[in-house]
Amino acid sequence: MAALDQLVEALRRLPGVGPKSAQRMAYHLLQHDRAGAQQLIAGLTEALARVQTCTRCHGFSEAPVCAVCSDGTRDLGLLAVVESPADQAVLERSGSYRGYYFVLGGRVSPLDGRGPKDIGGEALIARALDGGVREVILATSFTAEGEATAYLLGEALKSRGLSVTRLARGVPVGSELEFVDLGTLAHALADRR
Amino acid sequence: MAALDQLVEALRRLPGVGPKSAQRMAYHLLQHDRAGAQQLIAGLTEALARVQTCTRCHGFSEAPVCAVCSDGTRDLGLLAVVESPADQAVLERSGSYRGYYFVLGGRVSPLDGRGPKDIGGEALIARALDGGVREVILATSFTAEGEATAYLLGEALKSRGLSVTRLARGVPVGSELEFVDLGTLAHALADRR
């Protein structure tokens, strides 16, 4: 059936979903949870229409400037640099950070020819020099590419007289920031160097 | 963000998707694969509109009568009884069956007070007596509820003079039919008793 097969194909594009899972999801929705399928259509449609990029931090936002960037009670002197909106969300949920964010467009990848410019490095430098920032916390992943990103951005920021720190090594080396438990992340924030 | 949270909630209704997976999926779609999100909206919308129930076998179909039931080259004497459209699909993919199907609305569940009538037992008997069926193959799962379903339907069918078989015990006991490998399923069809 064409419509069923197309639904299975679409579900396979979700991260972590293989052909068997996609098939199971499609049959489940059509047989047992058509209301859930409607809810998913509505959720996707709304999110696509409403979730845009914050003009200040480049994270997700439903307004031109996101709730964090609009929050005047935060520490203007702190700027955390993360790889993605998901990493920003997990750092925020750790409850240990009261500064502002800058969300990169991923990490540098020398093998793919993706350098600091391709992930928003220039916008980061402009933002970091935009008055009041006394410390830039590089919260990129502790993978090879995340470390390379932190190194390259760190050098560029330091050469402009900015103070640069990195999350403490409490974060297990080789892991993705998004999957770190919140306690470890809180320690890593406290011990930043 | 309300729209993002609602998308995460909707994704959590998918089978096998927990809070972390749902969040990962939502961020992935919004950040890296908005085209995939559009494809998923289209796939869900099309499937909900087009995939209905075949009036003859009660499986999934985009027409009033499905492709299998409309196929005149199959063996009219064989009728396989399955628990769900997913089980019908996996039996069909085994390539060992050339008869017709009857798709039940699940399995009996004495604990929940769900008996043969609640899963389409009467419609099955009417279909099995509808001329030409010489053997009803009970292809329900080899779980306690699947066995109870096969027993109750088997007795009812036999009392009306129909010949009833069960998939061979080659299918591992305690497993769901949907996840059985196709080779085992082919053996189970050949050795039905």
**Position B94: which residue type?**
S
Rounded to the nearest angstrom, the minimum Cα separation between B58 and chain A is 11
DSSP string, B61-120: ESSSS-HHHH-TTS-TTEEEEESSHHHHHHHHHTT---SEEEE-SS--BGGGTB-GGGGT
| φ/ψ (deg, to 5) at A123 | -65, -35
Give the model's pLDDT for residue B59: 94
Prediction pTM value: 0.79
Give the model's pLDDT for residue A168: 78
- Indicate yes or no: CB of B1 within 8 angstroms of CB of A51: yes
Question: A173 or A32: whose pLDDT is higher?
Answer: A32
Give the model's pLDDT for residue A30: 95
Segment A58-75 shows an average pLDDT of 94
Give the model's pLDDT for residue B184: 79
Give the model's pLDDT for residue B51: 96
Is it the case that residue B189 has pLDDT exceeding 90? no
Chain B residues 60-119 within an 8 A CB cutoff of chain A: 60-62, 67, 84-86, 89
Give the model's pLDDT for residue A169: 67
* A79 beta partners: A100, A136
Chain A residues 162-181 within an 8 A CB cutoff of chain B: 178-179
DSSP string, A127-162: HHTSSS--EEEE---SSHHHHHHHHHHHHHHHTTT-
Angle at B135 between CA B59 and CA A32, to 5 degrees: 20
Q: Which of A3, A21, A47 sits opposite B7 (nearest CB)?
A: A47
* B79 beta partners: B100, B136
**Among the listed ranges A12-26, A141-155, B132-146, B166-180, which one has the minimum average pLDDT value?**
B166-180
ipTM: 0.81
Averaged pLDDT score across all residues of chain B = 91
For A139-149, how does the pLDDT look when each residue is reduced to its tens digit (9 = 90+)? 999 888 998 99
Is it the case that residue A94 has pLDDT exceeding 80? yes
For B75, other C-beta atoms within 10 Å of its C-beta total 14
Give the model's pLDDT for residue B164: 95
Calpha distance A64→B168 (Å, rounded): 63
CA-CA-CA-CA torsion for A177, A183, A185, A191, nearest 10 degrees?
A: -150
Calpha distance B95→B41 (Å, rounded): 32
For B64-93, how does the pLDDT look when each residue is reduced to its tens digit (9 = 90+)? 999 999 999 999 999 999 999 999 998 998
Give the model's confidence band at B193: pLDDT under 50 very low, under 70 low, under 90 confident, else very high: low
**Rg of chain B, C-alpha, whole Å:** 20
- Which residues does B173 contact at the CB level (< 8 Å), separation at least 6? B142
Give the model's confidence band at A170: pLDDT under 50 very low, under 70 low, under 90 confident, else very high: low
Name every chain A residue with its beta carbon within 8 A of the beta carbon of B42.
Answer: 6, 10
- Indicate yes or no: CB of A6 within 8 angstroms of CB of B33: no
Rounded to the nearest angstrom, the minimum Cα separation between B29 and chain A is 8
Residue B182, chain A, CB below 8 Å: the answer is no
Name every chain A residue with its beta carbon within 8 A of the beta carbon of B21.
Answer: 16
For B174, other C-beta atoms within 10 Å of its C-beta total 10
Give the model's confidence band at A15: pLDDT under 50 very low, under 70 low, under 90 confident, else very high: very high
Give the model's confidence band at A193: pLDDT under 50 very low, under 70 low, under 90 confident, else very high: low
Calpha distance A11→A4 (Å, rounded): 11
CA-CA-CA-CA torsion for B78, B82, B84, B88, nearest 10 degrees?
A: -50
- Indicate yes or no: CB of B84 within 8 angstroms of CB of A9: no
Give the model's confidence band at B170: pLDDT under 50 very low, under 70 low, under 90 confident, else very high: low
Give the model's pLDDT for residue A192: 79
**Position A74: which residue type?**
R
- Indicate yes or no: CB of A85 within 8 angstroms of CB of B7: no
Segment A167-184 shows an average pLDDT of 77
Quote the tokens at residue A64.
């031109």
Segment B144-150 shows an average pLDDT of 92
Residue of B nearest to A7 (CA): B43
For B156, other C-beta atoms within 10 Å of its C-beta total 17
Is it the case that residue B190 has pLDDT exceeding 90? no
Name every chain A residue with its beta carbon within 8 A of the beta carbon of B44.
Answer: 7, 10, 29, 37, 40-41
Segment B170-180 shows an average pLDDT of 76
Give the model's pLDDT for residue A191: 77
